[in-house]
Amino acid sequence: MTKEELTAWALSNGWTMMAGMPSLTKPRSPKEAIVRLVLKATVVNVEVKKPAGKWEKMTGAAYGDVHPDPDTGLPKGLGLDTITGFTMLMQENRDRMVFAKMTGKPAF
């Protein structure tokens, strides 16, 4: 996958752009990112925000090593399918975006 493909996938699956990076937010505090994709020139990294406020790299891979799962579309090669609670957090963010569109209120 390319940087543009990863960004498009993220934005269509509940991620929002925060500080120029696709990010997932806390369910109760949608203005604070807790997971982000750092899209560099040749690699993509998944970073998680620690309680102290510091970002920590969880996983990373070269763009050539990341490919979409044929069944779910989830990018394989980043380990997103193995991170505990990640799919649930992504679903909560996606639901919030859908309901915000239905009510006409901003997503965050």
Per-residue pLDDT of the chain (108 residues; tens, 9 = 90+): 899 999 999 998 889 999 999 999 987 777 889 999 999 999 999 999 998 889 999 999 999 999 988 888 888 888 887 777 788 888 888 888 777 666 655 555
Q: What pLDDT, on a 0 to 100 scale, did the predictor assign at position 22?
A: 95
Q: Count Cα atoms within 13 angstroms, Cβ side, for 36.
A: 18
Region of 70 (left: φ > 0; alpha: ψ -120 to 50; beta: rest) is alpha
Could you give the maximum distance between any two Cα atoms of the chain, in Å? 40
Q: What pLDDT, on a 0 to 100 scale, did the predictor assign at position 79?
A: 82
- pTM greater than 0.75: yes
Q: What pLDDT, on a 0 to 100 scale, did the predictor assign at position 107?
A: 54
